[in-house]
Amino acid sequence: MGREARVAEAAGDREAFERCLAYVREKSANETAGIYGPASITWEIMREPCVLLAAPSAVLLQLAHPAICDGVSRYSSFAKDYAGRARRTFTTMYDLVFGSVAAATKVSHTLFAMHGRIRGTVDEPGSPWHGRSYRANEQELLRWVAVTLPVCVNQVFDRAVRPLDRADRERLYAEQKVGAAAVGVLPEVMPATLATFEDWYLRASSPEHLHVGDKARALFAALQAGRKSLVLRTLSAAFLPAHVREGYGLPFGAREKAVLAGVLGGLRAGNRVLPRSLRSVLAFHQGTLRVAEGRGATAPWTTRIAHALTRVAPLPTTLGSP
């Protein structure tokens, strides 16, 4: 591709990104409450630490897209520094969910700039993307990355915390469209309704679009190094389409289903005993304190203690920005 074409492409990406940020600001609860705010179902779901169990499946689902897998293979230290990358990813996620609008859009700008440097051509024979060029800021790739984690997270929450009814899912999808815009997905690129999203996702997750090739399997093998537990393998397989699971060579028979049922059942039992205020991630408490202070109110004692802990020592599941 010539220089002029690349400049035009970059300008188009920038224009789309600015439209996304305008949409996020329009739809956000308010500057202090952030993109979603305390009344949102997104806060209700993402405050639960158990939803992090969706991460292994979500990562493998993203890598099953040949262009995303190629970009990760070429540009990321993902396989060599999985723990560090996971911490940074969770911080980014929590900034988007529980941070102020300023914190969330700061993340948006960081992601846009990072993705702007990522482009290539897929070399994966047998893949529907073989020989095709890509760039990380193109809408199709951003959309796939934006939807994979919520798809897996919602399944964990539904089975470990409380079932999500249709009204919950409709409301949640409307919120997730705003979250997708925060990572650069134009509102009109996301399916308009939950029903059309479900139809689209069935097609997008089919073998016509996803392909687990040698690169994806190599990345998965690197991620597994030293972490070959039955529980981790089960969580990696649990929320994947069958053909993707098979592509990674992940069994999901009676033993794995029993392990998953045990993990989710244990979480449900624990949730009945431990109040939500005591099990919520620290980022939720940080967001709650910020909102309370913005209203001139006093935050709950659990939130004040949790916030004090974040100031004593670096801890996981916290915000990266105020």
Identify whether 319 is part of a domain: no
pLDDT tens digits for 187-202? 999 999 999 999 999 9
In a domain, 320, yes or no: no
Q: pLDDT digits over 24-71, tens only?
A: 999 998 999 999 999 999 999 999 999 999 999 999 999 999 999 999
Find the radius of gyration of the CA atoms of the chain.
20
Tokens of 29: 């609860």
What is each CA distance from 153 to 74, 156, 169, in whole angstroms?
27, 5, 12
Count Cα atoms within 13 angstroms, Cβ side, for 106. 15
Cα torsion 99, 197, 49, 241 to 10°: value is: -140
**321 in a structural domain:** no
Q: Tell me: the pLDDT tens digits for 189-237? A: 999 999 999 999 999 999 999 999 999 999 998 888 766 788 889 999 9
45 domain-assigned? yes
In a domain? residue 254: yes
Q: What is the pLDDT of residue 83?
A: 63
The length of the chain in residues reads 322
Cα separation, 95 vs 99, in Å, equals: 4
Tell me: pLDDT of 178 over 90.
yes
CB atoms within 10 A of CB 6: 12
pLDDT tier, 126 (very low <50, low <70, confident <90, very high otherwise): confident
**318 within domain boundaries:** no
In a domain? residue 80: yes
What's the number of domains the chain is made of?
1
Contacts of residue 55, defined as CB under 8 A and 6 or more positions apart, other chains included, come to 86, 89, 149, 152
Maximum distance among all Cα pairs of the chain, rounded to whole angstroms: 62
Q: Is the pTM of this model over 0.85?
A: yes
Give the whole-angstrom CA distance, residue 138 versus residue 119. Answer: 10
**Quick check: is 255 in a domain?**
yes
Determine the structural domain holding residue 94 and report its residue range: 3-312
